[in-house]
Amino acid sequence: MRVGVIFPQTEVGGDVGAVRAYGQAAEALGYAHLLAYDHVVGADPTVHAGWAGPYDVSTTFHEPFVMFGYLAAATSIELVTGIIILPQRQTTLVAKQAAEVDLLTGGRFRLGVGVGWNPVEYEALGQRFDQRGRRLSEQIELLRRLWTETSVTHKGPFDTVTGAGLAPPPVQRPIPIWIGGMSEPAYRRIGRLADGWFPVMQSDEDLQRALEIIGAAARNAGRDPASIGIEGRVTWTPTDPEGFCRQVEKWRRVGATHLTIDTMYTGQISVDDHIVALQQAASLVGVRGHTN
């Protein structure tokens, strides 16, 4: 099980030095990858009455592709979007951005995608919120073609490409696409199309039911369910290290191929606090730092 970390998007503000320090510290501690969330804009609660989303116009988010271009020069850690809200973005532009990150990292990139939850953001980016699930499936297939074919012609319900291609191509052809989602349509899409899944589950029963749906969809599509990676997520709780270890072992038991450690919303104030938390968690999950 490869263990990585979640970049604390909402807690490091606009400090560029913090981005570099966090990425380099995660690599030095021996973590395998760094995962970042995506939001392009936040909603203003004074305009959107009754706003109940977890983020708003004051919540900080670095743009993952641009940030990863910066980290590619500062680290050699694998970089992961977890997730890019794909249907609110232009498919071919995402293909180009992802190919560039993959090239700059030497093939150390995974593209995590999902449909998101924020209609305000979809409106601001000129896309329809009510068709996001249907659009995602078409986008995934088109992305893979753009990464593996010199010239692509595609005409679908949402995207049209006529005799066009990307250059330079990515190192990975295709780049792995992982999906985040917690609904039956998402599980079926994961089984049909995904290289891996980012589960965020509240109970073991929910997890097992999701795995059954994913497995059935994979078999129906002629795929081996065992080929679909699973990336669990565990929150570092400094006051309950035993509970943290139990959660890690739970993901080992269910066969997770990857695990990410989240230090957000646990009382860390500065990037240095988050790095200390990563050090503490590393000692418990068996991550070993690099030595010179």
Cα 144 to Cα 34: distance, rounded to the nearest angstrom: 23
Residue 162 has pLDDT above 90, yes or no: yes
Arithmetic mean of pLDDT, 37-66: 95
Residue 291 has pLDDT above 50, yes or no: no
Residue 206 has pLDDT above 60, yes or no: yes
Give the rounded percent of residues in the chain with a pLDDT score beyond 90: 89
R_g (Cα) of the chain, nearest Å: 19
Arithmetic mean of pLDDT, 73-77: 97
Q: Is 222 exposed, middle or buried (0-12, 13-18, 19+ CB in 10 A)?
A: exposed
Residues 32-42+62-180: name the CATH superfamily: Luciferase-like domain (3.20.20.30)
Token pair recorded at residue 245:
């270890």
Taking the alpha carbons at both ends of the chain, their separation in whole angstroms is 25
Task: State how far Cα 286 lies from the chain centre.
Answer: 23
pLDDT at res. 289: 73
CB 226 within 8 A of CB 257: no
Cα 104 to Cα 69: distance, rounded to the nearest angstrom: 7
Cα 281 to Cα 161: distance, rounded to the nearest angstrom: 46
Arithmetic mean of pLDDT, 230-246: 93
Arithmetic mean of pLDDT, 93-116: 98
Token pair recorded at residue 147:
């990464």
pLDDT at res. 245: 94
Q: Phi then psi for 198, rounded to 5 degrees? A: -105, 90
Confidence band for 290, pLDDT divided at 50, 70 and 90: low
Q: Phi then psi for 186, rounded to 5 degrees? A: -65, -40
Residue 213 has pLDDT above 60, yes or no: yes
Least-confidence region, from 3-7, 36-40, 84-88, 266-270? 266-270
Give the alpha-carbon dihedral of 145, 147, 153, 155, to 10 degrees: 60
The whole-model pTM stands at 0.95
Query: Could you tell me which residue, 109 or 13, shows the higher pLDDT?
Result: 109
Arithmetic mean of pLDDT, 126-144: 96
pLDDT at res. 292: 38
Angle between helices 204-220 and 184-193 (to 10 degrees): 50
pLDDT at res. 71: 98
SS3 content of the chain, % helix, strand, coil (to 5): 45, 15, 40
Q: ∠ CA 188-192-196 to the nearest 5 degrees? A: 90
Sign (positive or negative) of CA dihedral 55, 57, 58, 62 = positive
Arithmetic mean of pLDDT, 214-223: 97
Q: Give the side-chain half-sphere CA count within 13 A for 6.
A: 24
Reduce the DSSP state of residue 245 to 3 states and report it: helix
pLDDT at res. 286: 83
CB 258 within 8 A of CB 2: yes
User: Which tens digits make up the pLDDT trace of 18-29?
Assistant: 999 999 999 999
Q: What is the mean pLDDT of the chain?
A: 95
